[in-house]
Chain A
Amino acid sequence: MNSEELSDQRLVQRAQQGDNRAFDMLVLKYQSRMANVVSRYIKDHHEIADVTQEAFVKAFRALPNFRGDAQFYTWLYRIAINTAKNFLVAKTRRPPDVDKDIETGEFSDVSGVLEAEDRPDQLLSRDQLQAVVVKALADLPEDIRTALTLREFDGLSYEEIASIMECPVGTVRSRIFRGREAVEKKIEEMG
């Protein structure tokens, strides 16, 4: 069992003992990944958010039955996929999202309305956010950028990064943190 699995296991045990803060931490950690999993099945942003939430609620309810046979994330992942599939099945049973205008007798497709986050101003802010992060990463000192990239892009453990960069694990940990903090400040300035 690697350190990440151990860390999750500790939090799961605490959550199973009734420590809700521990489950909150697990939500915090996996919320984004769960949303990504759900987005493979569902495209609407609001629905992704709803299904992700439902998946966490299901996980919370089923947590007493989780015995650690599989990794926590694998378990969570399965719940997310099942919830997304069930949602799609339920959706096909619902009547189509189409309204008929009584006056004109014409049909208008409600689902075709632009999502709030697809509006040009929102798209711009998303692109801006990405540009800010890329710029901030480029401005980082070489050793910090390398440590952060090896972690985020290559998914290496701190020990592996330490071995590649020929420095102590503590230094790797500190560099990754400093990198994140520097980029975070740039995002914060953006508003």
Chain B
Amino acid sequence: MNPEDKEALSAWIDGESEALEERRLLRDHDARELAQTVARWQVIGEVIRNTPNSSLEPKRRRAQFGSIQQALVQIQTQSPAAENSQVGRAHAHGRQFRWYAVAASLTLVMAIGALMPQDMPSSPIASQSNDQVSAEIAARQPIFVSAGDVSSEDLDELSLNPELRALDEASRAQLRAYLQQHDQLSQLATQQRLVSYPRTASKDQ
């Protein structure tokens, strides 16, 4: 490695290199080639900070870097089917949580509707639609999900996977919006008992 690149590497480990230098380092050098130098520089830093990482001397660091690289290569060469099944599992989780949210929102809306004073005449169309929606949801997922039904793996997945988390948050926000809307409509004492739900309504149509 020429001194210019080595200086760029030194700046890079400090997070002070330029984008162009990084690209050049990536293009011209393999990380394995840089591992020895970086490991030694890290030892220098640790000695200065008086926090030597006793388990990882330069040689061992290099060896460990090699084994991490090997493990990563193994993952990449794994069958695409395994990767796909993993992606599929994540999507399935997403669908599951989406339906839990939908089921929970509808259950709550129905419960609020049932608790309202019965002096107002109920719309036959609304109750019919209500029955259809309930039947459809019941056919797809259990409406009540106890905490025990959600495994810690699911929760881990939810907390680690930002996509699922975003989905969960979006569903919660949607539920809040529906409840708020329902509350407002109830206060106005309109004839409307159920808030129409776009997804199921479009299916009904």
**Residues of A49-71 contacting chain B, CB below 8 A:** 49, 52-53, 56-57, 60-62, 65-67, 69
CB distance A28 to B31 under 8 Å?
A: yes
Shortest Cβ distance from A48 into chain B, in angstroms? 5
**Residues of B26-69 contacting chain A, CB below 8 A:** 26, 30-32, 34-35, 37-49, 51-58, 60-61, 64-65, 67-69
Shortest Cβ distance from A110 into chain B, in angstroms? 20
CB distance B14 to A176 under 8 Å?
A: yes
The segment out of B104-112, B133-141, B156-164, B186-194 that lies at the interface is B156-164
Q: At the interface, yes or no: A41 with Cβ under 8 Å from chain B? A: no
Q: At the interface, yes or no: A163 with Cβ under 8 Å from chain B? A: no
CB distance B57 to A28 under 8 Å?
A: no
The 8 A CB mask of A97-131 against B (1 = contact, 0 = none) is 00000000000000000000100000001100110
A-B contact pairs, 29 of them (CB 8 A): A3-B16, A7-B12, A7-B16, A7-B17, A11-B22, A19-B26, A20-B76, A23-B72, A25-B26, A25-B31, A27-B69, A28-B35, A29-B12, A31-B64, A36-B53, A45-B55, A49-B67, A57-B71, A126-B52, A130-B52, A133-B43, A133-B47, A153-B48, A153-B49, A173-B16, A176-B14, A177-B10, A183-B40, A187-B43
Per the bound structure, the CA–CA distance linking A67 and B160 in Å amounts to: 12
Q: At the interface, yes or no: A143 with Cβ under 8 Å from chain B? A: no
CB distance A173 to B10 under 8 Å?
A: yes
Which residues on the B side are within 8 Å of A158 (C-beta)?
11, 14, 16
Which residues on the A side are within 8 Å of B49 (C-beta)?
152-153
With contacts A29-B13, A31-B65, A180-B41 known, what are 10 further pairs, Cβ within 8 A? Answer: A25-B12, A28-B65, A31-B61, A31-B68, A36-B51, A39-B53, A126-B54, A133-B44, A137-B47, A173-B10
Indicate whether A56 sits within 8 Å of B71 (C-beta atoms), given known contacts A7-B22, A24-B31, A25-B26.
yes
The B interface, classified by DSSP as helix, strand, loop or mixed, is helix
Interface set of A (CB-CB < 8 Å, partner B): 2-8, 10-11, 14, 19-25, 27-29, 31-32, 35-36, 39, 45, 48-49, 52-53, 56-57, 60-62, 65-67, 69, 82, 117, 125-126, 129-130, 133-134, 137, 148-149, 151-153, 157-158, 173-174, 176-177, 180-181, 183-184, 187-188
Q: Of all chain B residues, which has the CB nearest A172?
A: B16
Partner of A28, one of B14, B15, B34, B60: B34
Per the bound structure, the CA–CA distance linking A5 and B14 in Å amounts to: 11
CB distance B15 to A2 under 8 Å?
A: yes
CB distance B22 to A152 under 8 Å?
A: no
Q: At the interface, yes or no: B75 with Cβ under 8 Å from chain A? A: yes
Per the bound structure, the CA–CA distance linking A125 and B160 in Å amounts to: 41
Per the bound structure, the CA–CA distance linking A134 and B88 in Å amounts to: 54
Per the bound structure, the CA–CA distance linking A126 and B46 in Å amounts to: 13
CB distance A65 to B57 under 8 Å?
A: no
CB distance B162 to A177 under 8 Å?
A: no
Q: At the interface, yes or no: B7 with Cβ under 8 Å from chain A? A: yes
Q: At the interface, yes or no: B91 with Cβ under 8 Å from chain A? A: no
Between B15, B49, B54, B57, the greatest number of chain A beta carbons within 10 A of the residue's beta carbon is seen for: B15
Per the bound structure, the CA–CA distance linking A151 and B48 in Å amounts to: 10
Shortest Cβ distance from A163 into chain B, in angstroms? 14
Q: At the interface, yes or no: B95 with Cβ under 8 Å from chain A? A: no
Partner of B64, one of A2, A52, A180: A52
Q: At the interface, yes or no: B176 with Cβ under 8 Å from chain A? A: no
Q: At the interface, yes or no: B6 with Cβ under 8 Å from chain A? A: yes
Per the bound structure, the CA–CA distance linking A19 and B31 in Å amounts to: 12
Q: At the interface, yes or no: B19 with Cβ under 8 Å from chain A? A: yes
Shortest Cβ distance from A88 into chain B, in angstroms? 15
Q: Of all chain B residues, which has the CB nearest A117?
A: B55
